[in-house]
Structure 1
């Protein structure tokens, strides 16, 4: 077995030889010979993924004149507990059909091959750049307007309850106590009533990404066009929830030696959030009123609480089912801690 195929076996559940067979099929569709792939292939692990393992695959074809690139995604072990993989693939294909993401090139039992976008994954610093942030805001508005198949009802509260039951079933007695799982049903019920009760019944619902960290946002440096990728957690939700998710992700930097640590001093201030919301609401050419901007900002702040519970439960569950090198449990602790710190200041509890 070559070093190349060994590198591709990290994800488990599939051999490097099997992936090479899939890549040979993809190469053939591009007009390349399998030998060209095998002889010149480079395997480059891409950092920052916490649900799957992702690799850039490069090879030279046509006498070395053309450099091919594809992306191989190896599904993380146990992650289907969070979502339906077939639904996620359908979403992936539908987003691509809308011209909003990469094409699906091939599938295999434990992963898939995707079109490699000639764009750069953003960094933690990039999403704080005012010019890039403005592009992200406009792209988010476009993404939220996509017409996707499936249930168009708000999913966040159902997901929270489902994940809480999963967390309870997986957790040790110690973890269940330390993370306050027994009391969390009541927290979710109160939160839903306070955020989406009678006052919030007119909140706009759209197709939300739900995981808008910088690693899921790419930019073509030449055209400045933004592409949002990776739709495992995508569903219909209040748009304010997705904005809140993006704001919360500004506290993270997954490219450090301690990617699980969050720094909430980096959470965007009032002016930064206001600028983002104004651009978001202006993306379709309409100038929003001050009241509309203020309302969406307030809603987004409240939905940060639902985000903390969502990703706190995700982290705790992942600590039991996912083998990727990431301190999921510490990440969960920080998300829950932030929930408890902020809930009394953000809501009339």
Structure 2
């Protein structure tokens, strides 16, 4: 569930620097439609990396007055002309017949990195039998002159998006152009906490996770994302001062202040070096807000994982542990601290084993197919095709337990940083406090668990 602020504005979850893990992200007020049609009449919007707020009451004047673009004013007519030119160039059918003034355009997000617009055909030109889409998302990137690092990130993000689209693991890609792209607009809703835990959807998530983990993506294979992200966030934290926060958060800040977070990060990364976990291409943010349920009941794949801005090669244990922890949280609470937690909804052992078996079944099947198509593959190497013995299952569950510490600590430092920079109505300090308590509670259990395990040696790539 996505948090809702005091004005009734839905705060959609997102990943990226502003808000991974499906939690509230820094936002800006955004414009809406350049027609008189209220934004609420649109089909549900999927949560993509830069969706910040969706205001159900925005109108013509809001669009003209509030539309923002990386610090400079964007005029509605210029956006309309840009959308018109791009859709005519990259799309077919009725998009060649429509005139600029007929397009239905609504701004979905506006921030420092992306602007995202809904672009749709007018009702009288919609042909349900046609192959071309009747609605798309227009994503405009920020200023590419910000440097080669930013350019490289955009190239890598588009590459990943393209690969996922081609394999039906994400929204389709309709066009790439200098400064942006045209994407599929998926009608659906973010997964609810209850749906996340249901056997039907859980199996679908396990399947899609296995498909994603099996990909061979042409990006760096070094699993540096986890350590680099935690260290970077910890170093950027300003001093924690209890007296400078609201009374309701002072206990949390005092607890956080007494913890040496940088030291904990260093200890954890050192400990995890001895925990076997294969390196795979990971989503790194599998939570309700980043899982879309299609409205089409006849879809062959009803669940779509979205928001791959944090995707990178990482240790398998993090994706699995992080997802299971999300079972206990609900971010739709309207009262302080604006999230709720129910530890009884953490997956039971049978639920985890079911999920892991489905995941491995899909993962091993995909790797076997890749092996068959690999001319350099040794024919005498046979995969187990997802068969999970008792010992292997125990090892994976131990791996998940260890990487649960990484999930806790990453969002501890992230939430502290958000508390110091975000204007969203959400108690980041309380959330960080909650995750840090769980980290310390589970830390001793995990140390004891691995104390007597022999032959702990990290696998640097999947086997």
Tell me the TM-score range normalised by the shorter chain.
Answer: 0.7 to 0.9
Question: How far apart are residue 45 of structure 1 and its match?
Answer: 5.1
Contact 1:105 1:115 in 2 (8 A): no
Task: Describe the shift of the 1:279–1:35 C-alpha distance in structure 2 as closer, same or farther (beyond 3 A).
Answer: closer
Structure 1 residue 204 corresponds to structure 2 residue 278 = yes
Match of 2:402 in 1: 302
Contact 2:140 2:181 in 1 (8 A): yes
1: distance between equivalents of 2:265 and 2:105? Answer: 47
**Pairs within 5 Å for 1:31-70:** 31=92, 32=95, 36=99, 38-39=101-102, 41=104, 43=106, 56-60=118-122, 63-65=125-127, 68-70=134-136
TM-score by length of 2: 0.62
Match among 108, 123, 148 for residue 217 of structure 2: 148
Match among 255, 263, 272 for residue 195 of structure 1: 272
* CA deviation profile, 1:193-225 (whole Å, cap 9, x unmatched): 33331xx2x421100100001221234432341
Largest Rg, 1 or 2: 2
Question: How far apart are residue 173 of structure 1 and its match?
Answer: 4.2
Match among 16, 19, 24 for residue 84 of structure 2: 24
2: distance between equivalents of 1:55 and 1:252? Answer: 30
Greater helix content = 1
Give unpaired runs (5+ residues) of structure 2: 1-32, 35-58, 143-148, 243-252, 366-384, 452-463
Match of 2:357 in 1: 278
Contact 1:213 1:249 in 2 (8 A): yes
Give unpaired runs (5+ residues) of structure 1: none
Mean Cα displacement is larger for which, 128-137 or 94-103?
94-103
* CA deviation profile, 1:238-276 (whole Å, cap 9, x unmatched): 111101111112223344435941414232222221221
Q: How many residues align?
A: 335
- Please state whether the residue corresponding to 1:210 is helix, strand or coil: coil
- Please state whether the residue corresponding to 2:134 is helix, strand or coil: strand
Match of 1:336 in 2: 436
Match among 289, 293, 316 for residue 416 of structure 2: 316
Structure 1 residue 289 corresponds to structure 2 residue 389 = yes
Task: Describe the shift of the 1:134–1:45 C-alpha distance in structure 2 as closer, same or farther (beyond 3 A).
Answer: same
**Pairs within 5 Å for 1:1-349:** 2=34, 3-4=59-60, 6-7=62-63, 9=66, 12-13=69-70, 15=74, 17=76, 18-28=78-88, 29-31=90-92, 32=95, 36=99, 38-39=101-102, 41=104, 43=106, 56-60=118-122, 63-65=125-127, 68-72=134-138, 84-102=153-171, 103=173, 105=175, 113-155=182-224, 156-166=226-236, 168=237, 171-174=238-241, 179-180=256-257, 183-197=260-274, 200=275, 202-220=276-294, 221-225=297-301, 226-257=303-334, 260-265=338-343, 266-283=345-362, 284=365, 285-323=385-423, 326-348=426-448
Task: Describe the shift of the 1:312–1:99 C-alpha distance in structure 2 as closer, same or farther (beyond 3 A).
Answer: same
Task: Describe the shift of the 1:228–1:64 C-alpha distance in structure 2 as closer, same or farther (beyond 3 A).
Answer: closer
Contact 2:63 2:107 in 1 (8 A): no
Task: Describe the shift of the 1:193–1:172 C-alpha distance in structure 2 as closer, same or farther (beyond 3 A).
Answer: closer
TM-score by length of 1: 0.80
Task: Describe the shift of the 1:212–1:38 C-alpha distance in structure 2 as closer, same or farther (beyond 3 A).
Answer: farther
Question: How far apart are residue 299 of structure 1 and its match?
Answer: 0.8
Task: Describe the shift of the 1:172–1:236 C-alpha distance in structure 2 as closer, same or farther (beyond 3 A).
Answer: same
2: distance between equivalents of 1:196 and 1:329? Answer: 29
Question: How far apart are residue 75 of structure 1 and its match?
Answer: 7.9
